[in-house]
Structure formats: structure tokens, C-alpha cells
Amino acid sequence: MSSEDQRIDRIDVIETLYREMSAIDGKDWPTLLACFTDEIEVDMTGAQFGPNKPIKLTSGKWIGALK
């Protein structure tokens, strides 16, 4: 992978994270849904309220929990 490809990938990741956080702040659920694949893995093992292992669920279910 060239350094140019790496820069493009890095920008894509940064832009996706920005869209995700902006969508959460603005309660823009369709935009948030577009940030994820159909099935995701969420790791909250370090949180006091989290399960003791990562969990797999649909992106729709995750967004429902965020709402």
C-alpha cells in the first residue's frame, strides 16, 4: 500500500468518525446508520455497565440503544 493510499484511508476513517459523532449529537439516525455495516461488534468491557466481552448486534439495534 502506498503512502498516498494510507493517507486516503486515514482521511476516510477520520471523516467517518466525524459523521458518526455529528449524527449522534444531532440525533440524525439515518446518517448514523450509514456509518455502520449491518452487523457490528461493540466492546464495552472497560465500562462499569458493560458486559464482560464484546457483543455482536445489528447496527439498527445499536442505534436503538443510543436513542
pLDDT tens digit string along 35-66? 999 999 999 898 888 788 999 999 999 999 99
5 and 31 in a single domain? The answer is yes
Residue 47: predicted pLDDT? 84
Task: Report which of residues 29 and 50 the model is more confident about.
Answer: 29
Question: Could you list the residue range(s) of the whole structural domain that residue 45 is in?
Answer: 37-67
* Residues 4, 27 contacting (CB under 8 angstroms): no
Q: Alpha helices, DSSP H only, in the chain?
A: 3-26, 29-34, 59-66
pTM of the model: 0.79
Task: Tell me, yes or no, whether 18 and 48 share the same domain.
Answer: no
Assess whether 28 and 1 both reside in one domain: yes
User: Which pLDDT value is given to residue 53?
Assistant: 92
Per residue in 2-28, pLDDT (tens digit) is 999 999 999 999 999 999 999 999 999
Q: Do 25 and 6 share a structural domain? A: yes
Q: Which residues share a beta bridge with 54?
A: none
6/15 Cα distance (integer angstroms): 14
When divided into structural domains, the chain yields a total of: 2
Cα–Cα dist 44/54, whole Å: 7
